[in-house]
Amino acid sequence: MRLSGKLLLGFLGVLLGCATLFSIYFGLQSFREYGYFNDRERAAQAKLDELQQTITTQNAVLTALQADKEYEKRVIREKIGYAFPNERILHFAR
């Protein structure tokens, strides 16, 4: 084999080694990014589930407020502190 053939083989070997290292580096970087975005997706899904549960609970309260006038009066009196005219509200420490 002549010198130019050996140089060409050496150059191709170095080029192949660089391409391999390049592929490994970016493959590992992509794998880390995939894990990061996968964690973010799980966190977002957990937050979405929590918010959907909150909406379900709030819809149940809204339906109860619309359907039951006694419940509506009780909530208004307890949460807002509403009182009828000539009525006194006493607050006790718990």
pLDDT tens digits along 24-73? 999 999 999 999 999 999 999 999 999 999 999 999 999 999 999 999 88
Confirm if 12 and 18 have CB atoms less than 8 A apart: no
Helix or strand holding residue 5 (H, E): helix 3-67
User: Max CA-CA distance within the chain?
Assistant: 113
Percent of the chain's residues with pLDDT above 70: 99
What DSSP character marks residue 84? -
Q: How far apart are CA 87 and CA 47, in angstroms?
A: 44
Beta strands in the chain (DSSP E): none
- In terms of C-beta density within 10 A (0-12 exposed, 13-18 middle, 19 or more buried), how is residue 50 classed? exposed
Q: What is the pTM of this model?
A: 0.59
Residue 3 has pLDDT above 80, yes or no: no
